[in-house]
A and B are shown apart, each in its own frame.
Chain A
Amino acid sequence: MSQRPGRARRAAAGLHVVFVIWRIHVKLYLASPFEGFLNIVWPLFFAAMAFLIDDATGNHVIMRYTLFGIAAMGVWSSVAVSGSSLLQHARWGGMLELIVAAPRSFSLILASMTLALETTAVFSFAATLIMARYLFGIPVRIDDPALFIVAVVLTMIAMGMFGFVLAVSAVRYRSAWVIGNVLEYPGWILCGFLVPLALLPAWAHPVSDVLAPTWGIEAMRAAAGGQSPWTGLLICGALAVAYVCAGVLIARAVVQSARVHATLALS
């Protein structure tokens, strides 16, 4: 009994840390021309291109399948491009050593930062849907708004956790931003944001299956179409948990190695 208040206090303190880091980084990212402005504008251009190509077909082949996928492209871009270079920016800013030496878990701090990235990406998600509705006249129909919002939030969290894995994996790579640049388009293809997964070659399907956004978008489409989104939600949630576990293990190994070899600031 005596341990319960202690645990509860620790959990509350942990949540407080997550909230403070999240709030500070949302403010930082929104003020940044790259993480704020470009992460919103960049996917909007691609969305506009997809809408124009769809218009050219005359029968709205793309839009019937992929409106929510197009809206989620910006979230993926944010994860891939900004997530992979998150720690590099911390290094350039002289913050990496402070983050690693902080008395809080390195993973907790980093996961809070990637969640902040995902929060700013919500703007691009919303902006794409607004552009689709009001600039291109595409109807945005959502039959089950409550489950749709659950699917959106869970997909954002899952993508944030993928960004967390990416961020810790790229910490020793000096040009980490390039990893994000290269992963951006493959993510759009493999998660089925723009084209149906059935059009991809067979070898690509297992890769798509281990990417949480594939299932998150599936759940969004199901909720919007009035079908059950639970399979997609459960697999997306399970993959998010798997990303967290993988990220924590990688973070421990990477930080330990950097401390032992004194390479944290050098790579």
Chain B
Amino acid sequence: MRSLRLAFIGGLLTYRGLFGWLSPWIYIPNLLVRPVIQILLFVQIGRAAGIENPQFFVIGNAIQFTAVPCLFGMVMTVADERSQKLLGITMSSPAPRLPLFLGRALPVAVVGLLVSAFCIAASTVILNFSLPGKAIAPLLLVILVAAASCTGLGLVNAAIGLRHRAAIVVANILDLLLLLLSTADIPARALPHPLRVLSGYIPLTHAIAAGRQLAAGATLQAVAPEIGREVAVGAVYFIVGLITLKYLEFSSRRSGSLETA
């Protein structure tokens, strides 16, 4: 019960205090307008090049954009504790680390889900296409899995942020790598072989594949293997993130470098 309280209330408080994009002046343009424009950009490129249909780019980019709140949100809610002078207090508290950091990941994943769902809804209106009604609920599940999986990668980056100041720059690079490798905009066949192999081991790739199949009329059972792979990839990143956090917290204490990064 204490762990649940720590995860939910602690997570919510941290999100409200440290997620720097909550102001509508930032949230609306950055998390609602920008992704829709990104979709329109790639739809235009697809039209110019004569490859794929708008739906390909809408589903791909909408799911890929979960990366923005999940990667940047995790950096803000963990590594930005330093700029608020709270990192030492957090790290010296006796709170168990698993609920502490899982709680911080939850609101960020929910924001990822909302942003992605908004992108798909806005794009269906702007680009005048429709999704099968039965696909909507499974698609939301896929997006939630994608957001959670990406939050795992965000946790790894946030952990690195405990020791290195450049975590926000790394978040930008990771976002670009996900855009390039997750097949959000580039069909898998167009990726060079090593990149195609790599794309199977990063968050979002399998969720995007599942999302596209659902939008094309597939059932939830049919895409279950892809969802399972996305869950597995996300779980690996979460575990790596928690281990990295634990290790860097310990090494920061030993070397007295928590506040000096």
Contact = CB atoms under 8 A, between A and B. Distances in A.
Interface of A: 33-34, 37-38, 41-42, 45, 48-50, 52-57, 61-62, 65, 173-175, 178-179, 181-182, 185-186, 188-189, 194-196, 199-200
Contacts, number: 90
A82 B30 CA distance: 15
A53 B169 contact: no
B172 A42 contact: yes
Contact of A178 (B30, B49, B186): B30
A33 B240 CA distance: 26
A196 B176 CA distance: 24
A264 to B, nearest CB: 19
A195 B185 contact: no
Nearest to B176: A45
Contacts of B186: 49, 52-53, 56
B41 A53 contact: no
Interface residues of B, number: 33
Contact of A195 (B29, B37, B48, B191): B48
A181 B180 contact: no
Contacts of B191: 52
A182 B48 contact: no
B173 to A, nearest CB: 7
A179 B28 CA distance: 11
A199 B44 contact: yes
B38 A53 contact: no
A117 B62 CA distance: 31
A211 to B, nearest CB: 16
Contact of A41 (B23, B37, B51, B176): B176
Contacts of B46: 53
A199 B47 contact: yes
A189 B37 CA distance: 10
Interface in B15-41: 23, 25-26, 29-30, 33-34, 37-38, 40-41
A34 B169 contact: yes
A176 B30 CA distance: 11
Contacts of B23: 175
Given A56-B187, A178-B30, A49 B49 contact: no
B178 to A, nearest CB: 10
Contacts of A50: 45
Contacts of A195: 44-45, 47-48
A189 B179 contact: no
Nearest to A195: B48
B26 A175 contact: yes
A189 B41 CA distance: 7
Nearest to A65: B48
Contact of B49 (A34, A56, A186): A56
A57 B50 contact: yes
Contact of A57 (B34, B51, B166, B177): B51
Contact of B190 (A56, A178, A199, A200): A56
A116 B180 CA distance: 30
B48 A61 contact: yes
Contacts of A33: 166, 169
A41 to B, nearest CB: 7
A48 B45 CA distance: 13
A206 to B, nearest CB: 18
Contacts of B40: 185, 189
Given A45-B176, A178-B26, A185 B45 contact: no
Given A42-B172, A52-B191, A56-B190, 20 more contacts: A34-B169, A45-B176, A52-B190, A53-B46, A53-B49, A53-B190, A54-B49, A62-B45, A62-B48, A62-B49, A175-B26, A178-B25, A178-B26, A181-B30, A181-B34, A182-B30, A182-B37, A186-B37, A199-B48, A200-B44
A172 to B, nearest CB: 12
A236 to B, nearest CB: 23
A65 B49 CA distance: 11
A7 B54 CA distance: 60
